[in-house]
């Protein structure tokens, strides 16, 4: 389908971009891998696209102490190719390998993904599991927003209309065990269900301080606090998988749509949780 008519601007500074966004019905264009398909299907029809590709400083990856700083313009392929990120945050790199296809990973940006807030997207789930924060700049200045406050619903965030995501900060993994599992009908398709998790290993291989997030099967990425409480204090070999699935089923309210019904998605989440936990166990030996 052809795109609807729109005007196009390509600012070279954040201040210029913010000024353009204060007009009526303007949208930020980053990689365009989410917005342009929505426009093609007439799910969005902004009057003005503000392309921030030439705004300097948005494509940097840095580690400051125990925090990873990812510019909003960082593309998926940069994360995949980063030896630094493999060392300090392997869960993020693992998750990015599940994002769509190579062509999309070569164009899509992390800022665009987090601002789009698709419930089936990998980055928002990892960000929530890792207590990330989002930096945004707008007419009133800059602010830091915790990811739990940033994500407000399916395809909804707490960003103001003229605000631009500039950076995502994620704590480094610091040797934690991790797993990431999602199911899609075909590689590159949107996932029907997914789970990402990480945890620390204490004395005698006991799980502690676990973080478990479900995505794709639910309306927005969801911390599974009951599952975390179930896992903490146990060794992986002592986890009763059937009980763990029951705990998960009692905590989630899965979506029911043309792709899969609620019962199927709930069962699928249980399988993804088992897979992610098995990955984490295998990466660290006996736990």
- What average pLDDT does range 263-276 have in this prediction? 98
- The residue that leads in pLDDT, 35 or 193, is 193
- What average pLDDT does range 180-209 have in this prediction? 94
pLDDT for 23 equals 80
pLDDT for 2 equals 82
Q: What digits encode the pLDDT tens for the residues 147-182?
A: 999 999 999 999 998 999 999 999 999 889 999 999
* Residue 287 binned pLDDT confidence (cut-offs 50, 70, 90): very low
Q: Which CATH number fits domain 7-51: 3.40.50.1820, 2.40.30.170, 3.30.43.10, 3.30.2000.10?
A: 3.30.43.10
Q: What digits encode the pLDDT tens for the residues 132-142?
A: 999 999 999 99
Say if domain 61-171 classifies as CATH 3.90.1570.10: no
- Domain ranges for the chain: 7-51, 61-171, 177-284
pLDDT for 195 equals 98
**Looking at the chain, how many residues does it have?**
287
Calculate the average pLDDT of the chain. Answer: 94
Q: What digits encode the pLDDT tens for the residues 54-99?
A: 999 999 999 999 999 999 999 999 999 999 999 999 999 999 999 9
At the second CATH level, the architecture of 177-284 is 2-Layer Sandwich (3.30)
Q: What digits encode the pLDDT tens for the residues 87-121?
A: 999 999 999 999 988 888 989 999 999 999 999 99
The residue written with tokens 């986890």 in the block is 239
pLDDT for 285 equals 46
């Amino acid at each position: 389908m052809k795109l609807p008519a729109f005007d196009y601007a390509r600012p070279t500074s954040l201040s210029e971009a913010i000024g353009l966004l204060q007009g009526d019905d303007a949208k930020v264009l980053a990689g365009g891998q989410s917005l342009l398909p929505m426009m093609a299907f007439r799910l969005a029809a902004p009057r003005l696209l503000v392309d921030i590709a030439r705004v300097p400083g948005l494509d940097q990856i840095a580690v400051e102490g125990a925090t990873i700083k990812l510019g909003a313009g960082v593309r998926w392929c940069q994360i995949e190719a980063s030896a630094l990120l493999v060392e300090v945050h392997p869960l993020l790199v693992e998750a990015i390998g599940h994002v769509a296809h190579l062509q999309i990973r070569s164009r899509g940006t992390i800022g665009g993904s987090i601002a789009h807030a698709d419930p089936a997207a990998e980055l928002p789930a990892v960000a929530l599991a890792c207590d990330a924060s989002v930096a945004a700049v707008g007419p009133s200045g800059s602010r830091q927003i915790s990811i739990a406050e940033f994500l407000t619903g399916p395809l909804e965030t707490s960003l103001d209309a003229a605000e631009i995501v500039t950076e995502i900060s994620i704590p480094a993994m610091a040797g934690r065990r991790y797993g990431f599992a999602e199911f899609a009908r075909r590689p590159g398709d949107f996932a029907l269900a997914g789970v990402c998790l990480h945890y620390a290993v204490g004395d005698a291989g006991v799980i502690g301080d676990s973080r478990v997030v479900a995505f794709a099967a639910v309306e927005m990425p969801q911390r599974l606090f009951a599952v975390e409480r179930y896992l903490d204090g146990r060794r992986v070999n002592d986890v009763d998988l059937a009980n763990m699935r029951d705990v998960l089923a009692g905590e989630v309210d899965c979506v029911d749509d043309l792709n899969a019904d609620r019962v199927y998605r709930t069962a699928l989440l249980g399988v993804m949780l088992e897979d992610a936990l098995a990955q984490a166990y295998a990466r660290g030996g006996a736990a």
